[in-house]
């Protein structure tokens, strides 16, 4: 086998880690999957802490209450607005949205809009349980997110 290159086939698509208890989050990701017209996103509920520890150790200290995260097959991590922007590259059917995500000033305004929606989602009726609104866990996370990209490739 000397001289032969070993190639590792990486899984196609993106892992999307989000608040599975948030109706707004779920509906927006479902709509994006339908627009993509193919199964390019693997959705994971950030509330499943055991799954988070085993599959996404790089997000152990990430504040999943304030943003969703995208993990690429190469292990790159994107947060919030930049996660959505990264998702647009996964299907030709989503390419028209790239103009919006890369418009002049989008990298400055987009994160602010995303943060506002994330903060106010419980006022937008996002809870899957009609008796309670989306809650922010007391643990809050926050830790070291130095490996999480806030800019696009």
48, pLDDT greater than 60 = yes
Distance between CA 59 and CA 132 in Å, rounded?
26
| pLDDT of the residue at 38 | 87
Banded model confidence at residue 125, pLDDT cuts 50, 70, 90: low
Q: How confident is the model at residue 104 (pLDDT cuts 50, 70, 90)?
A: very high
Contact 56, 15 (CB under 8 A): yes
Whether residue 149 is predicted with pLDDT greater than 60 in this model: the reply is no
Q: Please, are residues 108 and 82 in contact by the beta-carbon 8 Å criterion?
A: no
Distances (CA, A) of 93 to 12, 33, 34, 78, 89: 16, 10, 10, 21, 9
Residue 143 pLDDT greater than 50, yes or no: no
β pairing state of 14-18 and 41-45:
parallel
Q: Give the pTM.
A: 0.75
Q: What is the pLDDT of residues 18-31, one digit of tens each?
A: 999 888 889 999 99
pLDDT confidence of 152, banded at 50, 70, 90?
very low
What is the rounded CA–CA span in Å between residue 23 and residue 96?
25
The three-state secondary structure class of 71 is strand
Where residue 1 falls among pLDDT bands split at 50, 70, 90? very low
């Amino acid at each position: 086998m000397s001289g032969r290159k070993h190639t590792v086939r990486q899984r196609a698509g993106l892992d999307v880690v989000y608040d599975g208890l948030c109706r707004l989050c779920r509906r927006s990701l479902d709509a994006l999957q339908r627009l993509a017209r193919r199964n390019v996103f693997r959705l994971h509920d950030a509330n499943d802490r055991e799954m988070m520890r085993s599959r996404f150790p790089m997000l152990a200290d990430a504040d999943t209450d304030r943003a969703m995260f995208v993990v690429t097959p190469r292990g790159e991590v994107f947060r919030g607005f930049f996660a959505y922007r990264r998702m647009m590259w996964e299907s030709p059917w989503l390419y028209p949205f790239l103009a919006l995500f890369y418009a002049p000033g989008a990298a400055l305004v987009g994160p602010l809009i995303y943060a506002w929606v994330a903060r106010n989602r419980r006022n937008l009726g996002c809870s899957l349980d009609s008796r309670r609104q989306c809650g922010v866990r007391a643990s809050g996370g926050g830790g070291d997110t130095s490996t999480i990209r806030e800019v696009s490739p």
